[in-house]
Amino acid sequence: EVQVVESGGGLVKPGGSLRLSCAASGFTFNNAWMSWVRQAPGKGLEWVGRIKTKTDGGTTDYAAPVKGRFTISRDDSKNTLYLQMNSLQTEDTAVYYCTTLNGVPLNDYWGQGTLVTVSS
């Protein structure tokens, strides 16, 4: 059974930092390009960033609003994806989803999301 479980969300003050984790099981994690997608309260889906597999170079790409503030990393030995968020702003308040988001005939898995609230 596939499981994707995010953790680490919570309340943080503007300018603060938070690290999200995503524990994956039931599929070959080290073969999957992994993304973070967020959804502000009552709003639509926004892609945050993606990390490729080590085989494909392990490189990362980020959406413009988070570039330079957020960092995605992975630990294939633990089947875990991370999102380090620094210099958080109120606009970063959202549910953050971990996903194998892709556009090809590969399975598409999503976690249940973790809520990050940035507020003073």
Please tell me the distance from the alpha carbon of residue 73 to that of residue 110, in angstroms, as a whole number: 17
Instruction: For residue 103, state whether it binds other proteins (rule: CB under 8 A).
Output: yes
C-beta of 41 vs 103, nearer to other proteins: 103
Looking at 53, 61, 76, 89, which residue binds other proteins (CB under 8 A)?
A: 61
Binding segment toward other proteins, per CB under 8 A, in 20-28, 47-55, 75-83, 85-93:
47-55
Three-state DSSP at 99 gives strand
The dihedrals phi and psi of 15, each to the nearest 5 degrees, come to 90, -10
Residues that bind other proteins (CB under 8 A): 35, 37, 44-47, 49-50, 61-64, 97, 99, 101-105, 107-108, 110-113
